[in-house]
A and B are shown apart, each in its own frame.
Chain A
């Protein structure tokens, strides 16, 4: 079976690809970025933008039966919102159209819990049918919400493709280089004075296994994926080996605003995730796919300072 995976120059996708290759799948990789120097990929690899027509040739040549779209470009990596919109929204639609045309049987799309938005009214344990507030609160996240929306509308419109949309909580681990992992690896980690929202963390290996389960099953739908439970932000910092440094929010918001314009810190629109809880419920994913995380919250957070298992971060 041939599996086409996007986003393989990142840090999570290679873990997923290795898991699938071990099981005997032919994995073909695509990314808008070249592979990091020194990294080997278990199958053929192409550097193509998801919007380019050239990507059709990958479908023609390899005839994949499964697409795993892990290629969302994060606002923490690329600031240009038009580039992100093109790749994340138009690129995703392009890939899904090609899946229809080339008879792909199964599509797994990696979205994020960020689409629910951080809001003081959020109940704990957001289900998959909760409103996607993010684009209303933070217009900068609208490309992530639209990517998710593109995938879910394909899910309902074209039922001959089995589509799974996965919305994981914060993914952390020794190999990852995403914003939350970098933040929790700091010695002194900024927090908002007086606020300590509950946050969820899933270990990179657990998340990769969850994606593998979604690839290998015949179930479809939209699913949240969480770890063992939720922990307050400051407890997560301490478990990861850092020290919380509280900053009053009246200072922090404008400060992060100006620093992020200079690209020194993460974007300002993510600040609310450190102020209000966005706790998801993955009950449906556990029930449907028989998923249970191997790593508990404590192990997950402690693993952050361990040496990377895949490539270099």
Chain B
């Protein structure tokens, strides 16, 4: 039966890709880079991840060839409660990237206290979102992924979907300091995976997590309701933006560059939403179809 399941799942990474990924990450004699990336572990979980990518969410990556070689910052919008958007972007880069690359996602600081998941994420190249980690990884020419909206983006309720929250200026300073291009990324569909209708602040405080969300199905349907809705996902990779300037300039001087990236993402989001099929069932939820241009 296990064999049957294996043939159902798509194949893992070809050996030459594995070798290239190990070289890119500059792993040591034991096969690990200092952050804990282990290409063999990544390859082991890829078939399951690929099932989610190809069949469950039917992800389409548009313009992935725009991601330049060498150090680069991928900057996607953030939404949909659980960081599935980061998962899709990272998977797109390793499965469809030219060449395939392991994106180093930046996770929340409370994350390492979670057993199992934090270990698995670490082996797949994710690390704590500390500026010193970002700088070091970029210095080693790794592609990193940051969400300038942070939990403010992912924890939104359904009616503020696709409206970009406040962007920090840190990612632009990072790009200026390390002379890295920024690739804006729009993720269309992740907001509907968990349509959150409420947040339970006291429970979040009790559990020590950033937020606890409620959807029409979760926790009402129990574990079944905890499954993400199988929404079709579209990823749009924008033209890389290369900024020049003083990384220590005042916020006012940086803000223009931040807004340029934010504008790129919002534009790609609007186009992507207009282009996709009507999500009629979800439109029955309060808020209806998301307005083009985001909400104020």
Q: Which residue of A192, A231, A239 has the most chain B CB atoms within 10 A of its CB atom?
A: A231
Q: Is B116 an interface residue (CB 8 A)?
A: yes
Q: Which residue of B33, B110, B113, B115 has the most chain A CB atoms within 10 A of its CB atom?
A: B115
Q: Which of B147-183 contact A (CB under 8 A)?
A: none
Tell me which of A123, A196, A296 contacts B29 (CB under 8 A).
A296
Instruction: Name B's A-contacting residues (CB within 8 A).
Output: 27-30, 32-36, 38, 109-113, 115-116, 118-119, 122-123, 127-128, 130, 132-133, 136
Contact flag A235-B130 (CB < 8 Å), given A124-B136, A125-B136, A193-B115: no
Residue of B nearest to A248 (CB): B115
Q: Which of A249-307 contact B (CB under 8 A)?
A: 249, 276-277, 279, 281, 296-299
Are the C-beta atoms of B130 and A196 separated by less than 8 Å? no
Are the C-beta atoms of B30 and A297 separated by less than 8 Å? yes
How far in angstroms is the closest Cβ of chain A from B107?
11
CA distance A281 to B133 in the complex (A): 12
Are the C-beta atoms of B28 and A121 separated by less than 8 Å? no
Tell me which of B29, B115, B118, B122 contacts A229 (CB under 8 A).
B29
Are the C-beta atoms of B112 and A230 separated by less than 8 Å? no
CA distance A209 to B32 in the complex (A): 25
Tell me which of A193, A228, A277, A299 contacts B36 (CB under 8 A).
A277
Q: Is A194 an interface residue (CB 8 A)?
A: yes
B residues near A196, Cβ cutoff 8 Å: 119, 122
Are the C-beta atoms of A121 and B136 separated by less than 8 Å? no
Are the C-beta atoms of B132 and A235 separated by less than 8 Å? no
Q: Is A120 an interface residue (CB 8 A)?
A: yes
How far in angstroms is the closest Cβ of chain A from B156?
26
Contact flag A194-B113 (CB < 8 Å), given A124-B133, A229-B32, A229-B34: no
Are the C-beta atoms of B109 and A228 separated by less than 8 Å? no
8 CB-based A-B contacts, threshold 8 Å: A123-B128, A196-B122, A198-B32, A198-B34, A230-B36, A235-B30, A239-B30, A298-B29
Which secondary structure dominates where chain B touches chain A? Answer: loop
B residues near A281, Cβ cutoff 8 Å: 136
Q: Is A41 an interface residue (CB 8 A)?
A: no
How far in angstroms is the closest Cβ of chain B from A134?
18
Q: Is A34 an interface residue (CB 8 A)?
A: no
A residues near B122, Cβ cutoff 8 Å: 196, 198
How far in angstroms is the closest Cβ of chain A from B140?
10
How far in angstroms is the closest Cβ of chain A from B267?
34
How far in angstroms is the closest Cβ of chain B from A121?
5
Are the C-beta atoms of B113 and A124 separated by less than 8 Å? no
Are the C-beta atoms of A124 and B112 separated by less than 8 Å? no
Tell me which of A121, A228, A296 contacts B128 (CB under 8 A).
A121
Are the C-beta atoms of A231 and B30 separated by less than 8 Å? yes
Contact flag A228-B133 (CB < 8 Å), given A125-B34, A276-B112: no
CA distance A281 to B35 in the complex (A): 12
A residues near B33, Cβ cutoff 8 Å: 229-230
CA distance A229 to B122 in the complex (A): 16
Contact flag A195-B115 (CB < 8 Å), given A120-B109, A125-B136: yes
A residues near B29, Cβ cutoff 8 Å: 228-229, 296-299
B residues near A125, Cβ cutoff 8 Å: 34, 132-133, 136
Are the C-beta atoms of A121 and B30 separated by less than 8 Å? no
A residues near B34, Cβ cutoff 8 Å: 124-125, 198, 229-230, 279
CA distance A166 to B161 in the complex (A): 52
B residues near A131, Cβ cutoff 8 Å: none
Tell me which of A121, A123, A249, A297 contacts B115 (CB under 8 A).
A249
How far in angstroms is the closest Cβ of chain A from B42?
14
Interface string of A122-138 (1 = CB under 8 A from B): 11110100000000000
CA distance A281 to B27 in the complex (A): 15
Are the C-beta atoms of A194 and B136 separated by less than 8 Å? no
CA distance A281 to B139 in the complex (A): 14
Q: Which residue of B35, B36, B110 has the most chain A CB atoms within 10 A of its CB atom?
A: B36
Q: Is A139 an interface residue (CB 8 A)?
A: no
A residues near B111, Cβ cutoff 8 Å: 120
